[in-house]
Structure 1
Amino acid sequence: MFGKKKPIPQIDKDQLELIENAQKRIKQKKRLYVHFVIFLIGAIFLIAANTVLGIGKDFQIFNIDWFVFAILLWLFFFVYHLFNVFVTHKFMGKAWEKAQLEKLVAKQQDRIESLKAEFIKEEKLIAQSEVFNESATQSETSITKTKKSELTIIVAAAENDAIGLGNKLIWHLSDDLKRFKALTNGHHIIMGRKTFESFPKPLPNRTHVVITRQKDYQAPSGVILVHSLEDAIDASKSDAQPFIIGGGQIYKQAMAIADKIELTRVHHNFDADTYFPKIDTSVWKETANVFNKKDADHDYEFSFLTYERK
């Protein structure tokens, strides 16, 4: 409205640098053009001074009139000026080239430092994986469990324990899905209603035990409906190793009674609305650790971890 000043457009520093160097370039070309004009006029003047005015008419070098050498010498300086403008003095000038080189070196240094940090992190994870696997191999347990079944939690969780957002997985790791399928194949899988509803259809070759408070909940044939975790475990007593597969509240309840945790630790932090409970290392012992690098099929590094109750 009235009285308001028009905003002055802000010129980016690099754009300003381009403009200033372009102006220098224009001045260089103008000086070269003036030199060319003066050279032509000067050459004509030298020829006229000798032939018309008779200046130095009898002075020759190697039987060649002196003005020819004067014109050739001047031509040399003009060609040198021309070479200087279009070859030696590049568009941005030496100072600009040096600044750009320094910027490039700084960026490369940052990249090197970033790669170093990633390499150190990766080496640490690999070392942890090797140490835990060697430890697990050397210390084979001599304790035979008397329980008829082993209740196992299986989950994929980020570094900040994030496991889901909007009842969906946050990432897609092909090898993690293959591991889930291999471990749970042929077993009972216990889950909450929302987890069950996140599946397009029941998973093949597994018995689904769904926990829900809804008394009239309708489920496909073959799905076992229960109303508590205790009932779900009772419904799975024929299975030597039933699996708890989610969601957050079911995991929280199962932590107090589970025997084992099969965890895929995704080495990244994510925003989520569902989180896995913290693993208390005074209660749980890590018995296996397999590190996996990120690749074309996996956007993040991850580790397959196994915890057993002490």
Structure 2
Amino acid sequence: MFGKKKIVPQIDKDQLELIQNAQKRIKQKKRLYIHFVIFLIGAVFLILANTVLKIGEKFKPFDIDWFVFAILIWLFFLIYHIFNVFITHKFMGKAWEQEQLEKLVAKQKIKIEKLKTELKREMPHIAKSEIYNESLNPERKSELTIIVAAAENDAIGKGNKLIWHLSDDLKRFKNLTNGHHIIMGRKTFESFPKPLPNRTHIVITRQADYKVPEGVIVVNSLEAAIDVTKNELQPFVIGGGEIYKQALAIADKIELTRIHENFEADTFFPKIDTTIWKETANTFHKKDEKHDYEFSFLTYERK
């Protein structure tokens, strides 16, 4: 009952035989090569033993140095080994290898035909698969997400700068947008000291020949920006106010950090219409030594 489960080989009998025979052939040739090398070294050693070390110097059967007979006897065993590998086991030569290859190819053809038959049988089910249909649809919709931090009065910035500094909010922004395309207006882009790492920046501007660092993409409309991200699963819109207003009409999700204070500002986030948007997550944070204001992480999804 608790014994080890017997492992069933996934390779069929003929394939397994081919592999085992090939391994056997390799071992045979490897042993023959080793035998040949040892024979050469041994022959030199026997000659030196007799001529330099004077071992058996006076032993000369038929007036011939003894090492000659020793080398000839060893050579006989080497020749026998060569004969055994290339003659006795000739069935494992090129003709045998070709026969095994043809046998293996024939079996693979049978398997391919079997797979084709099974695929035809499953095609109606595959055609109904949502994943399959999405993979065929080049216009597959990605999840456009707005990410923003806004006060209770919807203030988001003043003088092209953030009004607050919340460490956890910055961490959340980094974690959510890392590895994704981020869409922004020109002023938002210019508020960064430099492009954010590990993100593809798409800047919307009407300025002709707007200069940007290498890797940053410039477009002249939100529609063009979205077209750039058509192969991205979750591009993010990160500002500013006018871009947010345009994106709100077509976005699928809003990741909102709501700061529970009112601020003077010159840029505001549009009001969220709860008849269109459903709150799906809400995490409250108290103020502490790193955060001067209470705030909440909210997630809205389009109904």
TM-score range, shorter chain: 0.5 to 0.7
Residue matched to 1:241: 234
Q: Distance in 2 between matches of 1:309 and 1:213?
A: 29
Matched residue type, 1:153: I
1:230 aligns with 2:220: no
Residue matched to 1:186: 179
1:296 aligns with 2:296: no
1:272 aligns with 2:265: yes
Structure 2: where are the runs of 5+ without partners?
A: 1-129, 135-139
Deviations 1:65-94 (A, max 9, x none): xxxxxxxxxxxxxxxxxxxxxxxxxxxxxx
Q: Distance in 2 between matches of 1:233 and 1:215?
A: 20
Residue matched to 1:212: 205
Deviations 1:146-196 (A, max 9, x none): 754100000000000000000000000000000000000000000000000
Residue matched to 1:161: 154
Matched residue type, 1:233: I
Q: Distance in 2 between matches of 1:292 and 1:285?
A: 21
Secondary structure at the aligned position of 1:246 is classed as coil
Secondary structure at the aligned position of 2:256 is classed as strand
Q: Distance in 2 between matches of 1:252 and 1:148?
A: 20
1:259 aligns with 2:265: no
Secondary structure at the aligned position of 1:225 is classed as strand
| Matched ranges for 1:132-171 at <5 A | 147-171=140-164
Secondary structure at the aligned position of 2:238 is classed as strand
Q: Distance in 2 between matches of 1:162 and 1:236?
A: 28
| Matched ranges for 1:68-79 at <5 A | none
Deviation at 1:237, TM superposition (A): 1.1
Matched residue type, 2:196: L
Deviation at 1:228, TM superposition (A): 0.2
Q: Distance in 1 between matches of 2:158 and 2:290?
A: 21
Q: Distance in 1 between matches of 2:169 and 2:200?
A: 20
Matched residue type, 2:155: A
Secondary structure at the aligned position of 2:291 is classed as coil
Deviations 1:18-59 (A, max 9, x none): xxxxxxxxxxxxxxxxxxxxxxxxxxxxxxxxxxxxxxxxxx
**Aligned counterpart for 2:190 among listed residues 181, 197, 210:** 197
Residue matched to 2:279: 286
Q: CA RMSD in A?
A: 1.6
| Matched ranges for 1:55-94 at <5 A | none
Percent of paired sites with the same residue: 80
| Matched ranges for 1:112-127 at <5 A | none
Secondary structure at the aligned position of 1:178 is classed as helix
Q: Distance in 1 between matches of 2:167 and 2:270?
A: 24
Matched residue type, 2:174: K
Residue matched to 2:115: none
Q: Distance in 1 between matches of 2:263 and 2:233?
A: 34
TM-score by length of 1: 0.53
Q: Distance in 2 between matches of 1:268 and 1:281?
A: 21
Q: Distance in 2 between matches of 1:302 and 1:256?
A: 25
Residue matched to 1:308: 301
